Amino acid sequence: MNMKELLRSSDPTILAFASALLEGEDIDCFQLDVNMSILEGGIGIFPRRLFVHPDDHFDAVKVMLDNEIPVTEHG
């Protein structure tokens, strides 16, 4: 399945909040780079990325911007 990048952040609270907001709107999302973040010891060097299905990307961007969460420009 193709996915489209929505945002990237090294702040786990932003990712958790974004995921909860998307879940509340019935938009499936998937976090990448979680294992890399764990390997670096949680010091925040490697950001995690949040992806959504391309069909949901427009709605997901709206949800993020409505809640003042910055999205990936090239996503």
Q: What is the pLDDT of residue 62?
A: 96
Sheet holding 48-52, edge to edge: 4-9, 48-52, 29-32
Q: Are 71 and 24 in contact (CB under 8 A)?
A: no
Does this model's pTM top 0.85? no
Q: What is the pLDDT of residue 51?
A: 95
Residue 33 to residue 65: CA distance in whole angstroms: 23
Q: What is the pLDDT of residue 38?
A: 58
Strands (E), the chain: 4-9, 29-32, 48-52
Q: Are 20 and 12 in contact (CB under 8 A)?
A: no
Q: Are 50 and 8 in contact (CB under 8 A)?
A: yes
pLDDT digits (tens, 9 = 90+) for 1-52: 689 999 999 888 999 999 999 999 999 999 887 666 555 565 656 788 999 9
Q: What is the pLDDT of residue 75?
A: 46
